[in-house]
Amino acid sequence: MAKQYTALQPVGRFGKGDIVGGLSDIQIQDLLQRGVIKVIEDVPDTPAKAKQAVPAKTEKEVKTDVE
């Protein structure tokens, strides 16, 4: 599983609290050493989308007597 990082302060296109990605290993190491980003320790094994609640299906009224 790949590590994920969060920004502790604004850096490039990332704001404070954003998930940092798309950087080279060298850039990641530099930002870690400078204390600009940190490793997210509790990364779930499944993507966040898979854990989101599925909205309940609602019945829709269908009008069949339309002129």
The whole-number average pLDDT for the span 4-27 is 94
Kind of pairing, strands 19-20 and 5-7? antiparallel
In a domain, 24, yes or no: yes
Count of domains forming the chain: 1
pTM of the model: 0.58
Domain that holds residue 16: 5-44
In a domain, 63, yes or no: no
In a domain, 14, yes or no: yes
Beta bridge partners of 38: 6
Higher pLDDT pick, 41 / 52: 41
